[in-house]
Amino acid sequence: MERVLARDVASHVGQEVLVQGWLHKKRLLGGLNFIVVRDRSGLTQIVVDKDEEVEKLRGMQVGTVMSVQGKVVEEQRAPGGAELHGPVITVEVPVTDEPPVEIDKPLSHKPENLDTLFDNRHIGLRSPQEQKVFKIRAALLRRIRDFLYKNDFTEINTPKLLAGATEGGAEVFKTDYFGKEATLAQSPQLYKQMMVGAFERVFEIAPAFRAEPSATTRHMSEVYMLDIEMGFIKGHEEVLDMVQDLTYDAVTSVYKEFADELKSLQAPELVLKEKFPRYTVAQVHELYTKATGTDTTNEKDLIPDEERWICEHAKKEQGCEAVFVTNFPKEAMKFYHKLADDGTVLWADLLFRGLEIATCPMRENRHEVLVEQMKAAGLDPDHPGYKYFLEAMRYGLPAHGGCGYGIDRLVEKTIGLGNVKEAALFPRDINRLAP
RNA sequence: GGGCUCGUAGUGUAGCGGUUAACACGCCUCCCUGUCACGGAGGAGAUCGCCGGUUCGAUCCCGGUCGGGCCCGCCA
């Protein structure tokens, strides 16, 4: 007999069907017994009446894998309006151990309970409520991919094992590589820029590894980055527009498609405009200092509280909780960034709901200028890690720019989670390497 | 890395310098024909993170250690 999924049961009223899944809930009332079976599409309620069938359930814990054959009956009192009657149960994989967490109700996501949540992640993710987070994550990724394919980007995959730390900034993980030292890629930065010379427009969705000893709600040591790079751009604006449109498209479509799921996850109401407000770093410092009395005008970057504040500000004043912060000061620049005529960096951060989601700079594509910037940053242009990058530059890269975009952070903020780790299936942080 | 804070059955929590450490969920047994957070009766399950100290006595107080959380720094 053909298997029927939970979501299709109601359309088989009157028919004998086979349902397969995991025992999700037992409610044994005596003469009348209910069990709920979970499959990839949802839950099916089954009424078990015969004693011999009820006996098969004795000692079987949540998670028991079973096949159930029964007749679909329309029943207003059943969830979904239909249920199985007269079932014949086959226990495929008996489970007699009590699961470590209860998956038939929402798991605790209170900060102090996240450790338990992640310790039991392999089982906790069986909770339909928990799965919603990752269905939404998958939909955001699908939407982003679709958008970039539509805009003629080529998806690429670059190596994650590298010869040395080249990019500067974040701490890198070192590992043994056949007797030599290798590092794990902290981003595909130099590779994606080199690939502009081949494909003009590229993107990659891949893990990046950060060895920062950061213990915060917004850091992990393995993160999923969306990296975009586009050549022949007219200017920095073109990069910002692309990132803005991509974000708007992904988030608004997910808010439509997953309205019920987002509601049950208590996601905040989306306040977004097609054009995100743009502020310079100096403007944010000024506005923040005026509003809070805390003087940040000498900070080179935004402090975390400014990131939160400016998003709230823009939400109230502009009706949009995503903003770009532009014109970062020269002191914060990296060697491959491009300077504007006014001496600030052609670099913008995308902030959404108080958190930096993406960083979107234009790149310096003039070989001589780049070499000078490397020297100024104390880097050796002859280092093997830069050789190929500089060659790509020398053999012709057009004006280009792109972004590094934190997928985990986007998922976290889209849903309104409190910690970026909740947006990862199996998060990695300073103390967690399992499961 | 710095500051502050927390650690009690499988899970979530309460509690106290002094007899058998409490409650809810889950689990086991029994009762129950419309449950959906089912209900009822009973039961099992905790060397109170670890080490040391103070004390007649420590789960409770102190120190250390390990682990968690929050903020800051670093970073994206």
Nearest to A158 by CA among A207, A116, A111: A207
Strand B nucleotides below 7 A of a protein CB?
1-2, 6, 10-13, 25-29, 31-38, 67-76
Helices (H), A151-235: 189-199
**Which nucleotide lies closest to A171 by the C1' atom and the CA atom?**
B75
pLDDT cut 70: percent of chain A above it: 98
Contacts of A51 (CB under 8 A, 6+ apart): none
Instruction: Calculate the dihedral angle through the C-alpha atoms of A128, A114, A247, A152, rounding to the nearest 10 degrees.
Output: -80
**Which nucleotide lies closest to A357 by the C1' atom and the CA atom?**
B76
Q: Using CA atoms, how far apart are residues A323 and A349, in angstroms rounded to an integer?
A: 8
**Any idea which of A86-100, A156-170, A222-236, A328-342 has the lowest mean pLDDT?**
A156-170
Chain Cα centroid distance, residue A138: 8
Q: Which helix (H) or strand (E) holds A375?
A: helix A367-376
Which residues, in sequence order, are bridge partners of residue A228? A203, A403
Q: Using CA atoms, how far apart are residues A361 and A350, in angstroms rounded to an integer?
A: 11
Averaged confidence pLDDT in chain A: 92
What is the arithmetic mean of pLDDT over A65-80? 95
Q: What are phi and psi of A41, to 5 degrees?
A: -105, -10
Q: Distance, angstroms, CA A322 to C1' B8? A: 44
The predicted structure's pLDDT at residue A167:
63
HSE value, Cβ hemisphere, 13 Å, CA-based, for A278? 14
What is the arithmetic mean of pLDDT over A123-136? 95
Using DSSP bridges, classify how beta strands A347-352 and A322-326 pair: parallel, antiparallel or unpaired. antiparallel
Other CB atoms within 10 A of residue A95 CB: 17
Q: Using CA atoms, how far apart are residues A318 and A316, in angstroms rounded to an integer?
A: 6
What is the arithmetic mean of pLDDT over A308-315? 94
3-state helix, strand, coil in chain A (%, to 5): 35, 25, 35
**Any idea which of A3-17, A143-157, A177-191, A244-258 has the lowest mean pLDDT?**
A177-191
**pLDDT tens profile A392-422:** 999 999 999 999 999 999 999 999 999 999 9
Vertex A110, ends A107 and A116: CA angle to 5°?
60
Q: Distance, angstroms, CA A162 to C1' B65? A: 37
Which residues, in sequence order, are bridge partners of residue A177? A180
**Which nucleotide lies closest to A208 by the C1' atom and the CA atom?**
B76
Task: Return the structure tokens found at A116.
Answer: 């338990």
CA nearest to nucleotide B7 C1': residue: A112
Task: Return the structure tokens found at A282.
Answer: 């100096």
Task: Return the structure tokens found at A34.
Answer: 């209910």
**Which nucleotide lies closest to A349 by the C1' atom and the CA atom?**
B76
Does the structure show a pLDDT above 70 at A165? no
Strands (E) located in A292-366: 322-326, 347-352, 355-361
CB neighbour burial string for A210-238, b if at least 16 within 10 angstroms, e if fewer: bbeeeeeebbbbbbbbbbbbbbebeebee
**Which nucleotide lies closest to A187 by the C1' atom and the CA atom?**
B76
Instruction: State the burial class of residue A318 (Cβ atoms within 10 Å of its Cβ: 0-12, 13-18, 19+).
Output: middle
- Model confidence band, residue A24 (pLDDT cutoffs 50, 70, 90): very high
Task: Give the total residue count for chain A.
Answer: 435
Q: Using CA atoms, how far apart are residues A387 and A381, in angstroms rounded to an integer?
A: 7
The predicted structure's pLDDT at residue A56:
93
Contacts of A341 (CB under 8 A, 6+ apart): none
The predicted structure's pLDDT at residue A116:
92
Q: Distance, angstroms, CA A93 to C1' B7? A: 37
Peptide bond into A435 cis (omega under 30): yes
Q: Distance, angstroms, CA A220 to C1' B47? A: 36
**pLDDT tens profile A350-407:** 999 999 999 999 999 999 999 999 888 888 888 777 888 899 999 999 999 999 999 9
Does the structure show a pLDDT above 90 at A293? no
Instruction: Calculate the dihedral angle through the C-alpha atoms of A137, A123, A419, A423, rounding to the nearest 10 degrees.
Output: -10
Other CB atoms within 10 A of residue A127 CB: 18
Does the structure show a pLDDT above 80 at A168? no
The predicted structure's pLDDT at residue A386:
85
3-state secondary structure of A197: helix
Does the structure show a pLDDT above 70 at A92? yes
Sign, CA torsion A301/A385/A156/A366? positive
Q: What are phi and psi of A230, to 5 degrees?
A: -135, 135
Nearest to A47 by CA among A38, A37, A62: A37
Nearest to A352 by CA among A262, A273, A413, A432: A413
The predicted structure's pLDDT at residue A1:
85
Does the structure show a pLDDT above 80 at A284? yes
Nearest to A238 by CA among A361, A148, A370: A361
Q: Global pTM?
A: 0.93
The predicted structure's pLDDT at residue A352:
95
The predicted structure's pLDDT at residue A166:
60
**Any idea which of A45-54, A192-201, A207-216, A355-364 has the lowest mean pLDDT?**
A207-216
